[in-house]
Amino acid sequence: MASISLSSLSSSFSSLSFSSQVSPKSQKSLSFSLPTKGINSKTPSLTIVATSATVIESPLESETLSIEKYVKSRLPGGFAAQNIIGTGRRKCAIARVVLQEGTGKFIINYRDAKEYLQGNPLWLEYIKVPLVTLGYETSYDVFVKAHGGGLSGQAQAISLGIARALLKVSENHRIPLRKEGLLTRDSRIVERKKVGLKKARKAPQFSKR
């Protein structure tokens, strides 16, 4: 048996590249053989086969990129440069909301609101209540950047942010929004755990002896 030098193998493998996402239709195979010296013609040569493939973006990634381009075209200069903006908070969630005249679109973190909130009807109702209260459900497009907490907290933070942004449209909106309690920041949060207890109030089972 003949031996092949380790340096020749390592140099051959270093020229190959591999990808984690492979399209079955776009695979191309590449094969080459390493010559062997001083070996009978009957001894087979070592053949290395590698496949190269093109990386294909998933539909979700391409859709997110298209929405991101749309948001940047609608909001030149970013969120901070806009006039009608409001910040809402709930539990650990923070939402920055921008309103622009439109047809009633909701975009949260560069995704459609129904997709982002997993189609939950209660959370979708939370974010629409301030606009429905004033009859603006088809008059403004809503762009949101939300982070922290869960989806429920984020939905309620978005509701407060929209209500605060509507005050910048007109101060006359304060009375109907205040009447529905949409301008009140809900300060309830999870109570901290106490030393010696299992949770905030729950204590271990008492045993007299």
**Would 111 be classed as within a structural domain?**
yes
For the chain, how many structural domains are there in total? 1
Q: What is the pTM of this model?
A: 0.71
**Would 204 be classed as within a structural domain?**
no
**Would 101 be classed as within a structural domain?**
yes
**pLDDT of the residue at 18:** 46
Annotate 54-63 with b (16+ C-beta within 10 A) or e (fewer). Answer: eeeeeeeeee
Domain carrying residue 173: 86-180
**Would 64 be classed as within a structural domain?**
no
**pLDDT of the residue at 59:** 72
Q: Which residues contact 34 (CB under 8 A, 6 or more apart)?
A: 4, 8, 9, 12, 45, 46, 47, 48
**Would 30 be classed as within a structural domain?**
no
Banded pLDDT at 76 (limits 50, 70, 90): very high
CATH number of the domain at 90, please.
3.30.230.10
**Would 160 be classed as within a structural domain?**
yes
Calpha distance 74→140 (Å, rounded): 12
Nearest Cα neighbor of 140 from 107, 184, 94, 93 is: 107
pLDDT digits (tens, 9 = 90+) for 18-73: 444 444 444 454 554 555 555 455 555 555 554 544 556 567 678 888 999 999 99
Banded pLDDT at 176 (limits 50, 70, 90): very high
pLDDT digits (tens, 9 = 90+) for 83-106: 999 999 999 999 999 999 999 999
**Would 134 be classed as within a structural domain?**
yes
Contact 151, 97 (CB under 8 A): no
